Each structure stands twice: as C-alpha cells, then as structure tokens.
Amino acid sequence: MYIFYDTETSGLDRDFSQIFQVALVFTDDDMNILSSKKLDCRRSPWVIPSPGALLTTGFTPDDLKNAKSSAFEMMQDLDQWSRAQYWPVVFAGYNSLGYDEDILAQNLHSNLLDPGLTTALSKSNGLANGRLDVMNVVKVMQAYAPGKLKLDDLNDFGYPSLALGMVARQNGVNLGKDDAHDALNDIKATIGVAKVIQKQAPALWNQMANLATIEGVDEFISKTKVFTHALMAYGKTKAAVTTAVTPRGDGSATEVLFDLGFDPAPFQKMTVEELKQVFADQDKKPARGQPANPKPFRLVRKNSQPVLMPLDQSAVVLPPGFDPALADARADAIKADVQFQQRLATAAALAKQDKTATATNAPVTNKPQPEQQIAEQPTPATKAKLEQWMKDFHGTSSWKDAADQIDVFYKKFEQELKDEPAIRRFVQFAGRIVFEHAPEELSADKQDKMKRYVAAHVLHPDTNVAWMTVAKARKELDQIEHERASGKKKWQEITDTQIRSLKLYYTSIEKEYAPFLPLQPGNDNGFAQQPPKAANDGFKP
C-alpha cells in the first residue's frame, strides 16, 4: 500500500519553508487509487514566500491570504487523514527524499505533530512505514536498465533531465505544462511514471520498493552476501560490488559496506584508530591533479532507500573483468572475521562523532532558530512528557484553553527547561499558533513581543540570514528580472504584471510590519533600520 504525496511550498529552504498546498493519494500495491486528499492553507505571519516559489507554483498573494485553513489546521488534517489509512504504508513521492520529506517533517514539527510520520509504526502490527522516491527509481532505471525508460531530453548541464514533467511526457504520462506544480496533478504524474517502471522492469521496481524500510534493507543484506551498491548524482553512477560488514541487529540506521574491488586482508589487520583514519581519508578532497583517495568503505543510510541490487540485476554496472569467485571469497573472509566487523563498526561510529563534532564546533554567526533545532532530541522521559503535552494542546476545545497550555508548559517542564533548553521551541511553536489564530487570548505583553518578533524576523535587512525576508525576496526578484531579460528559458513566460504584483506584495508586507519595529534616534521614517537584537516571540520566561 502506498501514500503518494507532493507539496507546494513557500521556498526551497528545508528549515523555514511553509507548505502552502499538499496532496495525498492512497493506493493499493498495484498503485490503483483508493482515496485522495488535497489541502491548502494561508501564509503564516512569520513566513515570507520567495518570488521564485510563487512564480513557479502560480500561487498569488490573494491565494495565500484567502485560503480557508491555517497551516496548523492543514497539518492536523494531513496527519489525521494519513493515520486513517491502512498501515503500514509506503510514503512515496518524486524527489521526496531529496526535499519533501524534510519539509513535511519540519511542518509537522512546528505544528506540534510527530515529524516521524512517514516512518512511524502501525499500531495494529508494529511494522514501520516506508519511504520511496520515484525519482531515485528513475535514476536506478537509467543505471541498471538503460533504455527501458525514455530519457532523451537533456537539462542545461547536458544530462538526461529528471524533471517530473520531462520524464512523464516522454513516457506517455499526461502532465501538461499548465498542470505542473499543482500538488495533485504532480502526484498523478508520479503514479503514472511509477506504473511505467513497474511494467517495464518489475523486478527492479519490487527491489526498490522492498528497500523502502529499514527492515527491508536488513532483510536483503542478511540474505544476500554479495550485491552491488550505487551512488547516483549529476547523471553519473558510481557502482561497486559490495558486502555488508557491520553486525546485524545492532539497531543502527547506518550500514557499512565493503567494496569487494579491494582486498580486505590489509584492512582486517588494522586497529580501530587506523580504520577510523581510513574513513577520514575517504572524505578528504584530493589536491588538484591528484587521484582521489581509495574508498573501500561505503556508509549507507538504511532509512533512505539505498540502491542495493542482487548480482542477477546488476550486469550493466559490474566492473570489467569482474570475478564472482574472488568477490565471494573476499566476502567470506569478512563474514568469518567477527572481530574485524566489530572494530569497523566502532571505527565508523567514532569517525561519525568526529565529523559531527567538527560541524558543531564550526563558527556560528546566528543563534539557531526554533525551526533549526528539530534534530536536537529530548531524553526519552522528556519526550514522553512532551508528547502528552502536545496531545493536550491539540485536544483543547478553545483558543483560550490552548493559551493556558503555554503557562502549563512552563510549570510542567521547569526543570527540563534548565537541563534541555532546546525543548523551549515547543512552547514557542505553541505561542505562534495561538497568536496566529486568537492573539487576544495572549497577554498584552506577549502580543506585543510577538508583533515585534514577526516584524524583526520578516524585515531583517541582512540578506544572509537563513530564512526568507522581504529584503531577500526583493534581491531574488531582482535576479529573476535580470535572468528574464537575458533570455533565461525558465522565466520567459513570466509577465511584467506578475513581477509588478510581487513588488507590491512585498511592499505591503513591509508596511504591515514596519510599525512594530521600535523607533530609533535619527530615524524619521517610523521604523528601525536594524531589527532589535532583543526581539523574541514572547515565549521565553
């Protein structure tokens, strides 16, 4: 069973973009449509849509103002509808693992819903949902079954275009240019492409569908000693004959594969530190003119539908002179060396820690916003309390009761806020939700702080901040006008009227929020040129 879905959003940034429209289609295993849902919502006050997104999707300022539902209401509907279907289910989309999954998780999270919806467990049988990206399967077709799909149209870089519309139209799936970038139309086209793949290469489709869950990946590598793994990007495929190394049942979401093009014997003699150094060297870029460092190990994220293929489906990607007996013998040597497996698992974990620490210690120019803290997981005990508090928040019968839950949060999590300050984001999200729907239920002080927070957020003059602002939108619009004038194909159908409309839209937003920026000496235009550093959303004690 599948839930195909697609989103249309305020921009491309995964942390700050708001979903404006989402469509979901529930199908059986043969992708026959059983039910569907299409939802849209208004723009939230703290969100500035990018001009590129608006020109691409066709949403107008009036659309974003007059939609019946708020983002909070729409995401509740999405969550409830998804959970009402038969589970477990595979959530599928087009470029969903590259984009929609992160956007969906973030929008669920910021509306106090479970961001792990697409990998959640079925209450009836405890099995996990899966995730399948049809665009990834198109790439697999291109690499493992060339010619089975028509991919003759090239992109600007000279590679076969993987744009949904291009792939669909070449393979007899109807998606006109005027239909594209409507979520439901895009889903129907995605299903159409998936059916073509299923018909042209059923074994390949079934293999990729089986790899849509961690359990499916584990089952495959536990039963298959030697297989190919492929990395695909920019029209190129880097495939290798591999075997799984790390022990089964360790609960890890990452699998270490060994490239059997290498002799494992030297690596089997290495210490944990030496193996960790191999991992570090693999990531280093070679000096100009120098060959790339050897890469005997491949790290595979099991929850991201990795491309793992049995040898009988891998003839096209096997290296010249491939010796199956030699690969089999090398795999046997690795499987028999339990201590090597354990050392390698430890080395991989340590290498990951070092890499994470390096990223964490990098200079931070801006304080992380609540949206950027989704990866900071609370302790299990705190998580359980948060889940109950969020359930209570969603279960309130009035916005006054919802506002009261904000005060409850500070009392209930007094100690946790000291020990785990990142959980403050949950009450900040709650405050924003109440402010958007019923600001009068908040104290005058909190209302004032929220207004100043929104103003400082959307009118921030620094175009290098992570989120979209009016200043960034104007800069992007200037770039679009320049590209349009220079003849760039993407913008040739955009009219002067659309450009003028967007300029007026961003000016209207600026005028709406400018009064809430504080006056500063020497500033006679009524609002500050620099957002106040102390501005926050009012939901910090």
Q: Say what percent of the chain tops pLDDT 90.
A: 77
Q: Same domain, yes or no, for 67 and 174?
A: yes
Q: Assess whether pLDDT exceeds 60 at residue 519.
A: no
- β partners of residue 7: 22
pLDDT at 47: 96
pLDDT at 539: 60
Across 213-245, b (16+ Cβ under 10 Å) vs e yields bbebbeebbeeeebbbbbebeebebebbbbbbb
In tens, the pLDDT along 385-442 reads 999 999 999 999 999 999 999 999 999 999 999 999 999 999 999 999 999 999 999 9
- Residue 532 — pLDDT band, cuts 50, 70, 90? very low
The domain boundary residue, chosen from 172, 204, 236 = 204
- Residue 74 — pLDDT band, cuts 50, 70, 90? very high
Q: Same domain, yes or no, for 158 and 184?
A: yes
Q: Answer yes or no: is 503 within a domain.
A: yes
- Return mean pLDDT, the chain: 90
Q: Same domain, yes or no, for 323 and 415?
A: no
Q: Same domain, yes or no, for 257 and 313?
A: yes
pLDDT at 286: 78
Q: Residue 180 has which token pair?
A: 């594209």
Q: Assess whether pLDDT exceeds 90 at residue 247.
A: no
* CATH, residue 343: 3.30.1520.20
pLDDT at 292: 80
Extract the runs of DSSP E, i.e. beta strands, from 103-196. 130-133
Q: Look up the domain containing 453 and give its range.
A: 372-516
Q: Same domain, yes or no, for 149 and 258?
A: no
Number of domains in the chain: 3
Q: Answer yes or no: is 410 within a domain.
A: yes
Q: Which of 90, 83, 91 is nearest to 123 (CA)?
A: 83
- Residue 538 — pLDDT band, cuts 50, 70, 90? low
Q: Same domain, yes or no, for 356 and 405?
A: no
Contact 248, 222 (CB under 8 A): yes
Task: Kindly state the DSSP code that residue 521 receives in the 8-state scheme.
Answer: T
Q: Same domain, yes or no, for 251 and 162?
A: no
Cβ count near 281 (within 10 Å): 11
Q: Same domain, yes or no, for 283 and 308?
A: yes
Q: Same domain, yes or no, for 231 and 200?
A: no
Q: Answer yes or no: is 540 within a domain.
A: no
pLDDT at 492: 87
Helix (H) or strand (E) holding 109: helix 101-109
Q: Answer yes or no: is 180 within a domain.
A: yes
pLDDT at 250: 53
pLDDT at 353: 84
In tens, the pLDDT along 3-45 reads 999 999 999 999 999 999 999 999 999 999 999 999 999 999 9
Stated pTM of the model: 0.89
Q: Answer yes or no: is 321 within a domain.
A: yes
Specify the pairing of strand 90-93 against strand 2-9. Answer: parallel
Q: Same domain, yes or no, for 159 and 286?
A: no
pLDDT at 177: 59
Q: Specify the length of the chain in residues.
A: 541
Contact 334, 243 (CB under 8 A): yes
Q: Is the dihedral of CA 214, 217, 219, 221 positive or negative?
A: negative
Among the ranges given (366-380, 466-480, 514-528), the one the predictor scored with the smallest mean pLDDT? 514-528
- Residue 357 — pLDDT band, cuts 50, 70, 90? low
Q: Answer yes or no: is 307 within a domain.
A: yes
Task: Kindly state the DSSP code that residue 506 receives in the 8-state scheme.
Answer: H
Q: Same domain, yes or no, for 305 and 383?
A: no
Extract the runs of DSSP E, i.e. beta strands, from 81-158. 90-93, 130-133
* CATH, residue 40: 3.30.420.10
Q: Answer yes or no: is 80 within a domain.
A: yes
Q: Same domain, yes or no, for 318 and 431?
A: no
Instruction: Give the mean model confidence (pLDDT) for residues 354-378.
Output: 72
Cβ count near 534 (within 10 Å): 9
Q: Answer yes or no: is 464 within a domain.
A: yes
Q: Assess whether pLDDT exceeds 70 at residue 178.
A: no
- Residue 534 — pLDDT band, cuts 50, 70, 90? very low
pLDDT at 540: 56
pLDDT at 352: 84
Task: Kindly state the DSSP code that residue 121 receives in the 8-state scheme.
Answer: B
